[in-house]
Chains A and B, each alone.
Chain A
Amino acid sequence: MVQLNQFKLECRKHCAVFATFTGISVLTNLYFLFSQDQDLSFVFLLVNMVIGILLPVYIYLDYYREFFTGTMPINHLLPLRTSALFGVKSAVFMLGLILVWLPSLLDVFVNPAGLYQQRIMHSDSPALGIAYLVLSKLCSIPAGLAVMGLALAAAKRLRKPVLSHLCIALVMVLVVGIQFALVVRNSWHWSIGTSAAETFKQYANLLTVSPVSQVQPADINESIRWSSVGMNLLVALVAGTAGRYLFNSRKYEIFGK
């Protein structure tokens, strides 16, 4: 009951932000679905990049205020474990991030020059391609949120603010860096935050990566990397479990810094 009410409250708190970004995403995707203006195509990329940067920053700042500085003590007075509070908030962020991502499927599936009609449809197994397209994105979200939670919970163990902030940066850079290195391994070159026209995008945590091989795969399904999906699931599980332990431990104090 308390969780459900907290979920509704968080939805209300973040509704405006996610609705705005979803709206921008819908408008941009619709415009470029019907517009053939190549000169403006960079705007499409730019909007997606800006959304891809701003949303994780927004989410991080909200977690930071709630679980690091504790500017709103009311939530920590509720009969809920800190990990449950984090879980409820994360569920809302997951829904929000999925909502903002959904309009990008217009370009993938409806656009005649999109990934589906150009590549997935002609692959050995379109169903497998679609499953990968969706699952790879969905698994990257909990991984990203769990790492943020772990970083903040671990940082609370350190007394000095400078060390705490270093710890946050270190945990996030380290985890995302390792995931990124594994995703771009064996690739000729790569780009971050772009849409790949020939292959599936990969996700190193919340980071969108398009690794490019020297030889273009004939079948798009050859660019499927289940290992990156598995890695995101593993990160979500390990970081989530460790974060849960830290949040609920006696050493985690919402105030006291």
Chain B
Amino acid sequence: MENVLECSNLTKRYGKKVALDNLNLTLPKGRIVGLLGPNGAGKTTLMKLIVSLLRDYKGSITVCGRQPGLDTKRIVSYLPDREFLYPWMTIEECISFFRNSFEDFQLDMAYAMIEELSLNPAEKVKNLSKGMQERVSISLVFARKAKLYVLDEPLAAVDPSTRDKIMRIILDHFDPESSILLSTHLIHDVESLFTDIAIVNEGRVQLYGGIGELQKDYGMPIEEIFKQLVG
């Protein structure tokens, strides 16, 4: 099976602090992987390395066989854990910005998602609530036909009904030729989205496997497995 992401012996330090410690992770295509871990486990660091916002590391990372950099920015769609849209832009202008910046951006799909999430394209980003901004961001990220989607806590700021809508959008628009890596603390609420789980702790992948297999092997829900492993 073709791998979209391969991290091997990946180590990242911030001075003396080790954020990732010989981490190994392989994502085949067609998977939606939940990246779980306690705060400070290294989830966000791993994501930033994949999208080339962090560049200084030991070991290797490849996205579709290429090292993170200019080439992979064209095939990786990333949603950071902070606000990343210009507040003075309207939603329409954000869509236009993405269309002009990324060749794989699908305009029709973006507008369809915006409509589905009940957003007004003429509204300015600064006038939107945090949850609504999150909806816009997710629509823009998913309107790209990327090979890898890296989503850092995308569902943290939205209400349960919007969360369900966003999860439905992710599933409806998921292309089996791509993969999704999604970090979250809302394990119970979103585990139905995942095909696989990767539990990261102290900079290493402590557990990786398919949802069904893990539940069968451990005989308990994913949240319980997580609690047991992470303590």
* Closest Cβ–Cβ distance, residue B42 to chain A (whole Å): 13
Residues of B within 8 A of A76 (CB): 53
Asked whether A251 is an interface residue with its Cβ less than 8 Å from the other chain, the reply is: yes
A74 to B70, CA, bound (A): 14
A79 near B74 with CB under 8 A, answer yes
Say yes or no: A73-B82 contact (C-beta < 8 A), given A79-B74, A256-B14. yes
Is A63 interfacial (CB 8 A cutoff)? no
A2-B101, A74-B86, A250-B56 known, 12 other contacts, Cβ within 8 Å? A5-B100, A77-B51, A77-B53, A77-B84, A79-B70, A79-B74, A251-B56, A252-B55, A255-B54, A256-B14, A256-B54, A256-B56
Interface membership of B80, Cβ < 8 A = yes
- Bound complex: CA of A250 vs CA of B60, how far in Å? 13
A-B contact count (CB 8 A): 56
Question: Could you tell me which residues of chain A, from 162 to 183, have a CB within 8 Å of some CB in chain B?
Answer: none
- Residues of B close to A251: CB separation below 8 A: 55-56
Complex Cα gap A230–B54 (Å): 37
Q: How large is the interface on A (under 10, 10 to 19, 20 to 34, 35 or more residues)?
A: 20 to 34
What A residues does B97 contact at CB under 8 A? 5, 9
Interface residues, chain A, with chain B CB atoms under 8 Å away: 1-2, 5-6, 9, 13, 70, 72-74, 76-81, 159, 249-256
A72 and chain B: residue at smallest CB distance: B84
Q: Is B219 an interface residue (CB 8 A)?
A: no
Task: Verify B78–A253 contact, CB threshold 8 A.
Answer: no
Give the interface SS of chain A, mostly helix, strand, loop or mixed. loop
With known contacts A73-B80, A255-B48, A81–B55 Cβ distance under 8 A: no
With CB as the reference atom, state the residue of chain B lying closest to A74: B84
- Whether a CB of chain A sits under 8 angstroms from the CB of B73 is yes
Number of interface residues of B (CB under 8 A): 21
**Structural contact, B73 and A77, CB atoms closer than 8 A:** yes
Complex Cα distance A251/B48, Å?
Answer: 14
Residue pair B15, A73 in contact (C-beta under 8 Å): no
With a cutoff of 8 Å between Cβ atoms, the chain A residues found around residue B109 in the complex are none
Give the 3 A-B residue pairs with the shortest CB-CB distance, closest first.
A5-B100, A79-B73, A250-B55
Alpha-carbon separation in the docked complex, A70 to B80 (Å): 12
1/0 contact string of B13-55 vs chain A (CB within 8 Å): 0110000000000000000000000000000000010010111
Q: Which of A70, A253, A254 has the most CB of B within 10 A?
A: A253
Alpha-carbon distance A74/B89, docked complex (angstroms): 13
Measured CB to CB, the nearest residue on chain B to A249 is B55
**Residue B102 interfacial (CB < 8 Å):** yes
Rounded to whole Å, the gap between the CB of A223 and the closest CB of chain B is: 45
Rounded to whole Å, the gap between the CB of A248 and the closest CB of chain B is 9
Q: Once bound together, how far apart are the Cα atoms of A5 and B99, in whole Å? A: 10
Interface assignment of B85: CB less than 8 Å from any CB of chain A = yes
Give Cα A81–Cα B52 distance, bound, in whole angstroms: 11
- Give 1 or 0 for each of B87-130: 1 = CB within 8 Å of chain A CB: 00000000001001110000000000000000000000000000
Q: With a CB–CB cut-off of 8 A, which chain B residues contact A70?
A: 53
Compute how far the CA of A77 lies from the CA of B55 in the bound complex, rounded to whole angstroms: 13
Q: Do residues A253 and B84 form an inter-chain contact, with CB atoms below 8 A?
A: no
Task: Give chain B residues whose Cβ lies under 8 Å from the Cβ of A72.
Answer: 84, 86
Whether the pair B86, A73 counts as a contact (CB closer than 8 A) is no
Give me 26 A-to-B residue pairs in the complex whose CB atoms sit less than 8 angstroms apart, sorted by A's number.
Answer: A2-B100, A5-B97, A73-B53, A74-B84, A77-B53, A77-B73, A77-B84, A78-B102, A79-B73, A79-B74, A79-B101, A81-B70, A159-B14, A159-B15, A249-B55, A250-B55, A250-B56, A251-B55, A251-B56, A252-B55, A253-B55, A253-B56, A254-B54, A255-B53, A255-B54, A256-B56
